[in-house]
Amino acid sequence: MKYFTAILICLLFAGCTTIGHTQKEEGDQLISEIEDYAALHKRYPESLTELNRKETIDDGLYYFRLSDSTYVVWYGLTLGESMVWRSERQTWRKEG
């Protein structure tokens, strides 16, 4: 029973790690699209629809434009915790 529990914990941890890694990669791709859009239009998009994306991304990735020159992208980690990209910081940081 101990071995089964240990294996189950390892599998759950590996699954959570993989999900977070995939969301970060998707987030990096979204950030690249946002920056390309800004280079062309001299402002950040008001919403994801300007990037020809659905407003709600199924994998839990979110975008919010704060101003013409700043935005945030984030995805949830656990209840009350998110990984957040702030354009003025240019880095991912855990918040919550």
Structure confidence by residue, pLDDT tens digits, 22-62: 899 999 999 999 999 999 999 999 999 999 887 766 668 99
Backbone angles phi, psi at 85, to 5 degrees: -105, 120
The DSSP bridge partners found for residue 63 are 73
What pLDDT band is residue 16 in, cutting at 50, 70 and 90?
Answer: very low
Mean pLDDT over residues 57-79, rounded? 89
- Torsions phi, psi for 69 (to 5 deg): -120, 5
pLDDT at residue 58 in the model: 65
Over range 61-67, report the average pLDDT: 94
Q: Does the pLDDT value for residue 11 go beyond 90? A: no
Q: How far apart are CA 39 and CA 34, in angstroms?
A: 9
